């Protein structure tokens, strides 16, 4: 199983492949279905598209791509690569908190944007959702095979 999170002390070569990124968080919940319903409603209210990236709830792993997709990428099923590597931008996705350094474990999180989140976007989302906030995490950018 692959779940990419680098909250451990890592060697210098690996540390050089880790970036700190910002994530605009709209909701955290223990329920995948609640996160999905919330995401679709937020998309309708904000006009920001959803992209669930082919991920589905996995009872033992939180989230995973479907088995065939994991195998196509030479990963063992279940597999999950958290948002933030090469897919930054403004779109609504559901991610699993265990994959992020510094996040409370065991939650589905609705992310509206990742990378360099602008204050303008934060204020736009806060006008629809006052509890939205920005959280930072490290993201491993190196090879995963």
Q: What is the pLDDT of residues 41-54, one digit of tens each?
A: 999 999 999 999 99
pLDDT confidence band for 145 (50 / 70 / 90): low
By percentage, how much of the chain surpasses pLDDT 90? 72
Mean pLDDT of the chain: 87
> What confidence score (pLDDT) does residue 141 get?
62
d(CA 79, CA 110): 19
Mean pLDDT value across residues 98-117 = 95
**Which residue did the predictor score with more confidence, 37 or 144?**
37
Note the pLDDT of residue 18. 78
Question: Is residue 95 pLDDT above 60, yes or no?
Answer: yes
State yes or no: pLDDT of 26 exceeds 80.
Answer: yes
pLDDT for the residue numbered 5: 45
Cα 82 → chain centroid: 5
Domain boundaries, the chain: 19-138
Q: So what's the pLDDT on residue 98?
A: 93
């Amino acid at each position: 199983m692959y779940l990419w999170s680098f909250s451990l002390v890592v060697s210098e070569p690996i540390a050089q492949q880790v970036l700190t990124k910002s994530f605009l968080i709209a909701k955290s919940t223990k329920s995948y279905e609640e996160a999905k319903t919330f995401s679709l409603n937020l998309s309708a209210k904000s006009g920001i598209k959803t992209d669930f990236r082919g991920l589905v709830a996995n009872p033992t792993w939180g989230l995973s791509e479907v088995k065939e997709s994991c195998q196509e990428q030479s990963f063992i099923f279940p597999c999950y690569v958290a948002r933030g590597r090469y897919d930054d931008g403004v779109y609504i996705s559901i991610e699993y908190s265990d994959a992020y350094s510094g996040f409370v474990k065991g939650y589905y999180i609705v992310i509206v944007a990742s990378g360099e989140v602008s204050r303008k976007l934060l204020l736009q989302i806060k006008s629809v959702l006052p509890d939205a906030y920005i959280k930072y995490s490290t993201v491993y950018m190196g090879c995963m095979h």
